[in-house]
A and B are shown apart, each in its own frame.
Chain A
Amino acid sequence: MTTDATQTTDATQTTDTAATGTTAQATPTQAGDAGGQALLRLENVHTYYGHIHALKGISLTVGRQEIVTLIGSNGAGKTTTLKTISGLLRARVGSVVFDGDDISTVSAHELVARGIGHAPEGRRIFSRLTVLENLQMGGFTRNSSEIREDLGRVMELFPRLKERQHQKGGTLSGGEQQMLAIGRALMSRPRVLLLDEPSLGLAPILVQQIFSIIAEINQQGTTILLVEQNALQALKVANRGYVLQTGNIILADTAANLAANEQVRQAYLGEI
């Protein structure tokens, strides 16, 4: 397959330039690999915060139309992985391949136009802009008729946002802000949507609602990479999952297998 060929050359190029030479660090298991149709592929990614080695050789794939989840405890590197994909952080070693192109050095704002949407941790909505303006910002890379069309689509998905469209973002409740953050990310018509802790701080009923919306977005054709502390819910909605621990992937499998895995159940699903 042609995409495979380009991906392999990309990988060899980057490993050539990588000084450390940690080339053939195999993924723990190939069981859940998306295979040749991968939309997004991370190859041996190392990311640093100054001297702190946050990601120590992450390799993962996200296939078209999939929901893939990253689970792990605080500080495992989940958010760092998403930020490395969306260009807010740079991989020092390794590469991020999106739809066959190496995007490791493409700046964050250009990646939005290429189809990477990122709803960051903590929602990060623009509190002094109105709900409508927040959504318009989400469609920043698109023209006004496309924005108008998608405003309708997002407001249908989140009727609450339509009611509150002229309110300032900062006046919304936590759940509404989360809906706004997801809706805003959808406004760019992402091909892959990176969601960072969408259920954080929400009441259980809202958590349910957010997860059903995630499933709905996926059914409408958007690939999703989901970072969650709420591993139980995440594994219910996802096709596959990766377990991160201190910057490494320690497990990769289908969501069903992970949910049944003894180690995962003990460490992340709150079972003792």
Chain B
Amino acid sequence: MELSVLVQQFFNALTLGSIYALIALGYTMVYGIIELINFAHGDVFMVGAFTAFWLLTVPLALHGSVDNPVLLAGILLLIFTVVMVFMGIVGVVIERFAYRPLRNAPRLAPLLTAIGVSFILQNIIQVVFGSSPRRTPQIFGNDARFDLLGASISFRGVFIFLLALGLIFALQAFVGRTRLGRAMRSTAQDREAAQLMGVNINRTIAITFFIGSALAGAGGVVYGLHFGQIGFTIGFSAGLKAFTAAVLGGIGNTTGAALGGFFIGFVEVYSGQFGLFRWSEALVFAVLILVLVFRPSGLLGQPLTERA
């Protein structure tokens, strides 16, 4: 195997891993705070991809690459901001109307509702944009690349990786250091005790959905930029793999979810590279099964007893 190919694939894996990591963060945050596996989360990601597609093609009327770097940066900033805020709001609305009324219901009820929300989002996109795949404009020029150890690396891939990394660290800082982040962690651990500290539980859960959905929205934008083609079903498999990443990292743990996302990206890309392309998804889920059997709390999950 040539080094240049391995390097090339390394960057591909980082890009793909960035997408899974961004989606996995939302899964793990929502699970952490209300113990719900939000099966609609992958579809939030998908709606984000379509929102970006709409913004690029309708109001901005772009169809090809943007070569002016300043203009490109401006467009990216605009797209990511609008999509993330919009998807954050969509997430809050979903929580308010689909999950909050069922917060004290048996666990199966919100789980089934999540699957229902997933279908609703898919159907809305199908009605608005049609069933056939749509081409997201490739605003990064195809020749915007540089050479590294014989591999040709696109600036797009580097941008995606750095963006994901930036968002991951911003989230870590928010959850780890701010007052609201502490409120989220407290609510995740003991909702009633958090209330006794003066935490508004409903608002904290809404903020969690906002952030998780905004990150999935960013993942959706990235997906469109990277693959250039989106369809209303992309949320299903990407969501499932991101969920695997979240479980792999230890569900409820944001660092674990980010690392898990990159890990899944690497498994998928390199299994393809080593001739197991048809098996790459099977391998991803084999990893999930192995983790569930041998380390159910995930790689970074640390079950700490509540009382000494």
Contacts and interface: CB of A to CB of B under 8 A. Distances in A.
Interface of A: 86-88, 107-110, 112-113, 117-118, 120, 122-129, 133, 136-138, 140-141, 168, 170-174, 177, 184-185, 188
A123 B192 CA distance: 12
Closest 3 CB pairs of A and B: A112-B198, A141-B198, A124-B193
Contacts of A117: 196
Contact of B190 (A86, A124, A136, A138): A124
A168 B190 CA distance: 15
Contact of B183 (A137, A168, A184): A137
B192 A124 contact: yes
B135 interface: no
13 contacts: A87-B195, A108-B196, A109-B198, A123-B307, A126-B185, A127-B189, A127-B304, A127-B305, A127-B307, A128-B189, A129-B185, A140-B182, A185-B196
A58 to B, nearest CB: 20
B185 A128 contact: yes
Given A88-B192, A126-B189, A133-B182, A138 B307 contact: no
Given A112-B198, A137-B197, 18 more contacts: A108-B196, A109-B197, A109-B199, A120-B196, A122-B307, A124-B193, A124-B196, A126-B185, A126-B186, A127-B306, A128-B189, A129-B182, A129-B189, A133-B182, A170-B304, A170-B307, A173-B308, A185-B196
Interface of B: 179, 182-183, 185-186, 189-190, 192-201, 304-308
Contacts of A185: 196
A137 B186 contact: yes
Given A127-B305, A128-B185, A133-B182, A140 B193 contact: no
A128 B304 contact: yes
Contacts of A138: 197
B197 A174 contact: no
A24 B46 CA distance: 62
A174 B186 contact: no
A173 B198 CA distance: 26
Contacts of B182: 129, 133, 136-137, 140
A138 B308 CA distance: 20
Please indicate which of the listed interface residues B186, B192, B194, B198 has the most CB atoms of chain A within 10 Å of its own CB. Answer: B198
A140 B186 CA distance: 11
A107 B199 CA distance: 10
A24 B113 CA distance: 47
A47 B198 CA distance: 22
A116 B197 CA distance: 10
Given A109-B201, A126-B189, A174 B308 contact: yes
B5 to A, nearest CB: 43
Nearest to B180: A140
B198 A188 contact: yes
A126 B196 contact: no
A120 B191 CA distance: 12
Contacts of A171: 308
A118 B197 CA distance: 8
Contacts of B305: 127, 170
B86 to A, nearest CB: 29
Contacts of B179: 136, 140
Nearest to A134: B186
A108 B197 CA distance: 9
Contacts of B197: 109, 112, 137-138, 140-141, 184, 188
A218 B183 CA distance: 28
A172 B306 CA distance: 10
A118 B195 CA distance: 10
B189 A140 contact: no
B121 to A, nearest CB: 32
A141 B200 CA distance: 10
B195 A108 contact: yes
B308 A129 contact: no
